[in-house]
Every structure is written in C-alpha cells, then in structure tokens.
C-alpha cells in the first residue's frame, strides 16, 4: 500500500468529497490562495474556485457563524479555525448554536458541518498557539469530537465526518502533519465510537491520543525487549467514546495508563481514568496513572516547551510506577 503524510490524507479526503458533492465547501483564514497554514487545502482553490474555497476575514465568529447558516441552508461546510487557541473567539457560535440547534428545534433541523482545527504544542509557538483545549468540546453535548493519530485514521474519519448530519469538531495535531502511514487510494470510512487497538499486549494498557499514540507505541516496542507486553489503544473519537474496548483490555492487563496532551486538571486523561475507575475498579491491580500537560501555560522557551510536552519520558515514569 502507498505511504502518504497525515496532511496529504486530510487533503485527499476533502478533495474527494468536494468532487463528489457540490454542497461541500471550505471557508477559513488563508485556506485558499495560500493553501492553508499546514497545507491541508493546497491547490483546492485553483481546482474549485473561490465560491467553494473561501478565504475569510480574520474573524472566527464570522467563519463558524457563516458555516452554521450554510449548513442550515442545505450545504455541507468545512470551516477551518487555524488554531484551536482561537476558538474562544467563536465559542458562543460553537457551544450555543452549532451544538444546540438540532436539540432546541426538536430534531427538525440538522447542522451537517465539520469544524477543522489544530491542537498541540510544537515549534515553540508560545501559550496562544500551543493548546489542546478539546475537552471544552467533549464537555458540550451535541458535538462529535474526532482525534485521529495516523494518516489512515485521518482520511477515514474525515470521510465519515463530512457525510454525517451532525456537527463535528475534527481535531488535527500539528506534530502529526508530516508523519507518514499507509493509506488506501480508494474511498473508505471509519465509524465513530470505535477505538483501535494499535498494539496488543498482556501486562499493561496504555490509552493514548494523537501524538502520544506514537510515543506509546515506540515505548511499547522498547519494553517488549525487556519482557513487558504493553497494549496501546487509540480511542480515535472522544465523542462518541468506545469504553468497551478499553474495559476489555483492562480486564486482561489489570493496569492502566492514560496519556493525553490536554491539561491534567479536568482533561481527557482525567475523564477516561474516571470512567474506568467507576466501572472497572475490581479489575485494577494498581492505581490508574495519568500522563498529561501540566497545569500551566505552554512556555515560549525552547527547552521549557520540550519539558512541557508530555511524551516518552513521562510515559516511562508512569510505567515504572505501575509495574
């Protein structure tokens, strides 16, 4: 099978769906002529024109508000917010409109739209361009929240997202854009709410998201040589969330580490840990360990950002505690 990057997989999905369905269009800052901040929409402006690839003013509330109106009118917009850090500027549109309209109109109106945005610390971009704030959206009923970690997952889940009649928050991690993986050329979908066991193991379960999936897999390969068998699970979607796959793994390994780049306090690592502790306590031989970003802003300093981002070293420390 051919190998392409995470960014190319996202581009391929958008391109295919735009070609297949004239109601699909993109809007956002610098996505047209410049091809997007991370090149995921490059050449689409030339191929489909300014009516379907709209370069917008620097107004996040206008981008999401226009997309909601278009979705209510029968189109399938894909608005892009360049960084998740900018979503507070349009939080009213996301939380009180995009997420609630279907509910408040008794299911008579649908909001088929995919809000693409970028999370994660990388490149020393300081506190306002480095956050992983998606727990805000997990906390908001009415939104599907997608967190692909591989090019294969990115293409399949974006295809599913564009076809879905519900509003989707599609979270892309900036450290993954250049990562490569095998991706079929043909169209395919991945269902929401179906976690993926990236690696099977017997001694310990690590549930990880986004870039931490790759750190966990690399560490699991190293630990295998020392005789420790680690199972790595990627939820892939945070809403809906596949707890059954995780429960089955914990029942086998009796130990759990949860790794996610959102802030430790009230973050995804905390939520997943709580779900397992609440329903699988009798199967746990050791306390659950959380690996997450510290409860502070991401620093601009290069060595401080490197220390801030959770990764293999933090996972190693967690494994040592559990084992």
Give SS3 for 138. Answer: helix
Vertex 272, ends 112 and 138: CA angle to 5°? Answer: 25
Q: Given 129, 173, 210, 214, which residue is catalytic?
A: 129
Q: What pLDDT shows up at residue 310? A: 96
Q: Is 11 a catalytic residue?
A: no
Nearest residue to 302 via CA among 58, 64, 111, 124: 124
Write down the pLDDT at residue 190: 98
Please, what CATH class does the domain formed by 3-182 belong to? alpha beta
The whole-angstrom separation of Cα 198 and Cα 287 is 23
d(CA 276, CA 243): 8
Are the CB atoms for 163 and 18 separated by under 8 Å? no
Q: What is the pLDDT of residue 37?
A: 86
pTM comes to 0.97
For the chain, the structural domain boundaries read 3-182, 196-322
CATH number 3.40.50.920 given to 196-322: yes
Q: Residue 29 in contact with residue 63, Cβ under 8 Å?
A: yes
- Rounded to an integer, what distance in angstroms lies between the CA atom of residue 133 and that of residue 60? 16
Judge if 3-182 and 196-322 fold alike in CATH terms.
yes
> Around 169, how many Cα atoms within 13 Å sit in the side-chain half-sphere?
34
Q: Is 281 exposed, middle or buried (0-12, 13-18, 19+ CB in 10 A)?
A: exposed
Q: Over its length of 323 residues, how does the chain's per-residue pLDDT go in tens digits? A: 899 999 999 999 999 999 999 999 999 999 999 999 888 999 999 999 999 999 999 999 999 999 999 999 999 999 999 999 999 999 999 999 999 999 999 999 999 999 999 999 999 999 999 999 999 999 999 999 999 999 999 999 999 999 999 999 999 999 999 999 999 999 999 999 999 999 999 999 999 999 999 999 999 999 999 999 999 999 999 999 999 999 999 999 999 999 999 999 999 999 999 999 999 999 999 999 999 999 999 999 999 999 999 999 999 999 999 99
In total, the chain counts a number of residues equal to 323
């Amino acid at each position: 099978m051919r190998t392409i990057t995470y960014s190319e997989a996202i581009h391929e999905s958008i391109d295919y769906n735009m070609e297949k369905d004239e109601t699909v269009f993109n809007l956002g800052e610098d996505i047209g002529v410049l091809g997007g901040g991370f090149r995921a929409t490059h050449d689409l402006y030339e191929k489909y024109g300014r009516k379907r690839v709209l370069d917008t003013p620097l107004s996040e509330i206008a981008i999401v508000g226009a997309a909601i109106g278009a979705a209510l009118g029968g189109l399938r917009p894909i608005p892009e917010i360049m960084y998740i850090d900018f979503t507070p500027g349009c939080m009213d549109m996301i939380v009180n409109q995009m997420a609630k309209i279907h509910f408040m109109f008794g299911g008579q109106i649908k909001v088929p739209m995919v809000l693409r945005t970028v999370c994660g610390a990388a490149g020393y971009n300081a506190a306002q361009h480095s956050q992983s704030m998606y727990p805000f959206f997990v906390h908001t009923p009415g939104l599907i929240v997608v967190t692909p970690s591989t090019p294969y997952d990115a293409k399949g889940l974006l295809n599913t997202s564009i076809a879905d009649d519900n509003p989707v928050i599609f979270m892309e991690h900036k450290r993954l854009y250049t990562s490569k993986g095998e991706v079929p050329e043909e169209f395919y979908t991945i269902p929401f709410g179906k976690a993926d066991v990236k690696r099977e193991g017997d001694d310990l379960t690590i549930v990880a998201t986004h870039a931490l999936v790759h750190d966990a897999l690399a560490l699991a390969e190293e630990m295998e040589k020392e005789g420790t068998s680690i199972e790595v699970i990627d939820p892939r979607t945070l809403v809906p969330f596949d707890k059954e796959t995780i429960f089955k793994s914990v029942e086998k390994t009796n130990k759990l580490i949860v790794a996610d780049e959102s802030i430790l306090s009230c973050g995804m690592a905390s939520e997943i840990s709580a779900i397992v502790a609440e329903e699988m306590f009798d199967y746990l031989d050791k306390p659950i360990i959380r690996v997450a970003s510290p409860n502070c802003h991401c620093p601009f300093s290069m060595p401080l950002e490197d220390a801030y981002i959770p990764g293999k070293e933090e996972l190693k420390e967690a494994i040592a505690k559990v084992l």
